[in-house]
Amino acid sequence: MRRDARPADRNGSNRMADGSTFVQAFIILFREGLEALLVIAALAAFLRRANAAERIAPVYMGALAAVVASVVMAWVFATFYDGNHSDLFEAGVMLAAAVLLFYMSGWMFLRQDPKAWQADLNRLAERALGAGTVLSLAGIAFLAVFREGAETILFVHALAKSGSGFDASLLSGLAAAALALVAMFVAMQWLALRLPLRPMFIVTSAFLFFMGLRMVGEAFQELQEQALIPFTTEGVPAFVSDWGLSNGSWEALGTQLVILAVAVAAALVSLTRKGAKESREGRPVSAAS
């Protein structure tokens, strides 16, 4: 009985280990890749909805360049820093990404009027989606992938070293996560093509702004881990960190609230000016009729 039980126990343990490796590999890639994919999918969906699909290539090229840069950075961390990433470097990448996300969020919000796009779409697309904006889109895609890429590679490498290497369970976990991310990407593109233009612009603008706020919070956490910024948590509502709005400190939350207040004020000023302009342009038309 015992002799028969030992191989069975061993096989059961192997299956449990394989299952654990599969789950860990899936979670690593899916968790680390989700935010980057959502940003890239939102940008691609926006460009398709704005009839500027030919300008999606720089977004994908930025993401691909980030993958290559992530492999290089992972090698640097593994070779010279014992696999430990640099908090200051990561904070800098996050803050740069946040600036670009805020810029694109405001850019989309200001161009939400369907009439402005449909009046002379080709001319407007050439001007509004010019070289500077395209570079910003590519930069956002690069930073969104790069901020997670090197860390993901290091996590997967550590998982392989602690287990049986890049075996079938690890590779299948990565493949399953990749398929799940691709399915989410396709679903977002399908939905975007069926949304009216104005809601598409507004939703994408709000999403990018929210992601920018999250980047600021995560950058603060990296700086606080290096004791460069104080970390005060007393009295911070629990939902702030539970919902991923901030890292749970007043320093990060206060900065995010200031950014939000400035953005709301700028949006109100823009809408007020737009309303005043439309009313001025409307008066001669009504008088003539």
Distance CA 238, CA 255 (A): 18
Across the range 20-31, mean pLDDT stands at 90
Residue 188: is its pLDDT beyond 90?
no
Q: Name the more confident of 114 and 144.
A: 144
Q: Which residues contact 205 (CB under 8 A, 6 or more apart)?
A: 104, 105, 106, 108, 109, 112
- Decide: 62 and 137 in contact? Cβ < 8 Å: yes
Report H helices in the chain: 2-49, 57-80, 87-110, 114-118, 121-128, 131-162, 168-192, 197-225, 238-242, 250-288
Given this model, what pLDDT does residue 35 score?
82
Greatest pairwise CA separation for the chain in angstroms = 100
Listed range (104-108, 171-175, 184-188, 218-222) with the worst mean pLDDT: 104-108
Across the range 107-135, mean pLDDT stands at 60
Name the band, by pLDDT with cuts 50, 70 and 90, for residue 198: confident
Model-wide pTM > 0.85: no
Given this model, what pLDDT does residue 176 score?
95
- Decide: 37 and 184 in contact? Cβ < 8 Å: yes
Residue 105: is its pLDDT beyond 80?
yes
Residue 172: is its pLDDT beyond 90?
yes
Q: In the structure encoding, which two tokens stand for residue 105, read together?
A: 């969020």
85 DSSP 8-state letter = P
Q: What is the mean pLDDT of the chain?
A: 79
Given this model, what pLDDT does residue 287 score?
39
Residue 5: is its pLDDT beyond 90?
no
Given this model, what pLDDT does residue 3 score?
45
| Percent of the chain whose pLDDT exceeds 90 | 19
Name the band, by pLDDT with cuts 50, 70 and 90, for residue 61: very high
Q: How far is CA 55 from CA 45, 164, 249, in A?
A: 11, 43, 39
Residue 24: is its pLDDT beyond 80?
yes
Name the band, by pLDDT with cuts 50, 70 and 90, for residue 261: very high
Given this model, what pLDDT does residue 62 score?
93
Distance CA 191, CA 78 (A): 41
Tell me the backbone φ, ψ of residue 278, rounded to 5 degrees: -65, -35
Residue 266: is its pLDDT beyond 80?
yes
Across the range 172-183, mean pLDDT stands at 94
Given this model, what pLDDT does residue 209 score?
92
- Decide: 101 and 205 in contact? Cβ < 8 Å: no
- Decide: 207 and 55 in contact? Cβ < 8 Å: no
pLDDT digits (tens, 9 = 90+) for 26-42: 999 998 888 888 889 88
pLDDT digits (tens, 9 = 90+) for 68-78: 999 998 888 87
Q: Is 245 exposed, middle or buried (0-12, 13-18, 19+ CB in 10 A)?
A: middle
Residue 227's region, left for phi above 0, alpha for psi from -120 to 50, else beta, is left
- Decide: 248 and 233 in contact? Cβ < 8 Å: yes
Q: How far is CA 54 from CA 47, 51, 105, 125, in A?
A: 8, 8, 21, 11
Listed range (6-15, 84-93, 194-203) with the worst mean pLDDT: 6-15
Given this model, what pLDDT does residue 273 score?
82
Q: How far is CA 57 from CA 28, 44, 60, 141, in A?
A: 27, 9, 5, 11
